[in-house]
């Protein structure tokens, strides 16, 4: 039976591309129990090459697979020219992969992405990256028994077999650390934080929502400096960072976004955590902005019990001075007082021993694992 690959061109086809995931997860009770449907309107923006700022320096092609007139899979291919300039390589990316349990369909999708990437002069495909390393990435390989937190991915276990059988190799492994507040000695952590603050002449404060734009600029500057040597990292442009900040502003709890400053008021580090709104999004079927969807979202949002620490950044000259203990103490103290008794720290490269050590110190357990695959094309 032949498999037809179609290129996505119209807005209607883009929405079909996004909605295909429902066919994979809704029909399987186990997957459906933990899957959180993507917010359709957000994905529509992310895949809109006219609106999403990534595409000022990247190209995107989306493909769907069909059998007997029925859609059976999706994939996107991305050329990130900024990545290639910074890393001096010819790596292209694939993401937004969804597929029935059929190796031939998966092979056809990977081949379509590979051919498009090769036409751009690239020699390696890496994924899932949807659509950049600053967005969602990684194929879940461990931790299927619980839902993903906000902005993390979920997939059926068989996706990994489809990748491996199609010739992909493990490029990098990622970890998500689960941190239970009951496992943290908050008194000891706070004591350490106070010692570091005094020793280094530092202070810590919450984000000031009245100065949101300038606060975000501080985060952008440190983020790009702190992460510049990380594997696969590409600094975000001003437009990309502003777009992200605007998207996340309605979710921001200033008591979970911290700045560490030196004695002169210079910001030398930050920590960004967000409430795990997936606990509410799970109930709105990808549409939180319809009247009924909004009512359900607001209802379930009241009972969010966890948060996700998305990123921390410290200027290079302040590393290994215990700055992380200051921010972790602040998170733990506030969370413990306001009914948020668990968090996820994600994602962390498995090879990043320093971050893993930090997670262990505060009682973290590596409860989910992800893989980014690579393949020569």
| pLDDT tens per residue across span 42-79 | 999 999 999 999 999 999 999 999 999 999 999 999 99
Does one domain contain both 168 and 198? no
Tell me if 168 sits within 8 A of 162, measured CB to CB: no
Does one domain contain both 64 and 17? yes
Say whether pLDDT at 354 is over 90.
Answer: no
Mean pLDDT value across the chain: 93
Say whether pLDDT at 138 is over 90.
Answer: yes
Number of domains in the chain: 2
User: Considering 158, 176, 194, which residue would you say is the last residue of a domain?
Assistant: 176
Taking 3-state DSSP, the helix, strand and coil percentages for the chain, each rounded to the nearest 5, stand at: 40, 30, 30
Does one domain contain both 146 and 37? yes
Owning domain of residue 202: 179-368
Predicted pLDDT at 322: 87
Q: Residue 133 falls within a domain, yes or no?
A: yes
| Beta partners for residue 139, in sequence order | 371
Predicted pLDDT at 228: 75
Predicted pLDDT at 328: 86
Tell me if 47 sits within 8 A of 17, measured CB to CB: yes
User: Considering 176, 205, 221, which residue would you say is the last residue of a domain?
Assistant: 176
* Interval 287-292 mean pLDDT: 92
* Interval 142-161 mean pLDDT: 97
Predicted pLDDT at 189: 85
Say whether pLDDT at 329 is over 90.
Answer: no
Predicted model pTM: 0.94
Instruction: Please spell the DSSP secondary structure of 235-281, one letter per residue.
Output: PPPHHHHHHHHHHHGGG--GGGEEEEE-TTS-EEEEEEEEE-THHHH
Highest mean pLDDT among 13-17, 320-324, 344-348: 13-17
Poorest-pLDDT segment among 119-133, 144-158, 262-276, 312-326: 312-326
* Interval 205-228 mean pLDDT: 91
Instruction: Give CA–CA dist 335/333, Å, rounded.
Output: 6
Question: In Å, what is the CA distance from 134 to each residue of 58, 79, 129, 154?
Answer: 13, 14, 9, 17
Does one domain contain both 105 and 139? yes
Any idea what the CATH number is for the domain that residue 99 is in? 3.40.630.30
Each residue of 225-276: pLDDT tens digit?
888 778 889 999 999 999 999 998 998 888 889 999 999 999 999 999 999 9
User: Considering 176, 191, 209, which residue would you say is the last residue of a domain?
Assistant: 176
Q: Residue 323 falls within a domain, yes or no?
A: yes
Per-residue confidence band for 335, with pLDDT thresholds at 50, 70 and 90? confident
Predicted pLDDT at 362: 81
Instruction: Give CA–CA dist 277/139, Å, rounded.
Output: 21
Does one domain contain both 93 and 229? no
Predicted pLDDT at 135: 94
What separation, in Å, do the N-terminal and C-terminal C-alpha atoms of the chain show? 26
Buried b (16+ CB within 10 A) or exposed e, 176-187: bbbbebeebebe
DSSP 10: S
Q: Residue 375 falls within a domain, yes or no?
A: no
Share of the chain above pLDDT 90, in %: 78
Predicted pLDDT at 338: 73
């Amino acid at each position: 039976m032949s498999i037809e690959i179609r290129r996505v061109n119209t807005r209607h086809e883009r929405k079909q591309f996004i909605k295909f995931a429902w066919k994979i997860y809704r029909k399987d009770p186990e997957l459906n129990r933990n899957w959180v449907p993507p917010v359709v309107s957000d994905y529509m923006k992310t895949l809109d090459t006219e609106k999403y700022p990534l595409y000022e320096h990247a190209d995107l092609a989306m493909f769907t697979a069909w059998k007997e007139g029925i859609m059976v899979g999706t994939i996107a291919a991305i050329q990130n020219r900024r990545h290639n300039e910074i890393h001096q390589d010819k790596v292209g990316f694939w993401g937004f992969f969804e597929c029935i349990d059929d190796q031939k369909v998966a092979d056809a999708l990977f081949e379509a992405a590979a051919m498009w990437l090769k036409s751009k002069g690239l020699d390696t495909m890496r994924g899932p990256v949807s659509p950049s390393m600053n967005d969602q990435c990684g194929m879940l390989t461990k931790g299927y028994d619980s839902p993903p937190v906000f902005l993390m991915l979920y997939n059926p276990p068989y996706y990994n077999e489809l990748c491996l059988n199609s010739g992909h190799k493990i490029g990098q492994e990622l970890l998500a650390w689960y941190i239970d507040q009951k496992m943290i000695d908050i008194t000891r952590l706070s004591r350490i934080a106070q010692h570091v603050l005094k020793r280094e002449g530092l202070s810590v404060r919450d984000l000031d929502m009245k100065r949101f734009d300038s606060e975000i600029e501080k985060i952008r500057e440190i983020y790009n400096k702190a992460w510049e040597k990380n594997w696969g990292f590409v600094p975000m442009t001003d437009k990309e960072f502003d777009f992200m900040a605007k998207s996340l502003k309605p979710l921001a709890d200033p008591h979970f976004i911290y700045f560490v400053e030196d004695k002169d008021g210079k910001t030398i580090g930050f920590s960004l955590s967000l409430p795990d709104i997936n606990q509410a999004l799970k109930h709105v079927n990808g549409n939180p902005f319809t009247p009924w969807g909004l009512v359900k979202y607001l209802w379930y949002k009241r009972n969010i019990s966890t948060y996700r620490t998305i990123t921390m950044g410290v200027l290079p000259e302040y590393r290994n001075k215990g700055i992380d203990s200051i921010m972790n103490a602040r998170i733990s103290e506030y969370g413990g007082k306001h009914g948020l008794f668990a968090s996820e720290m994600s994602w962390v490269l498995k090879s990043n021993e320093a971050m893993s050590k930090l997670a262990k110190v505060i009682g973290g357990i590596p409860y989910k694992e992800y893989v980014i695959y690579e393949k020569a094309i």
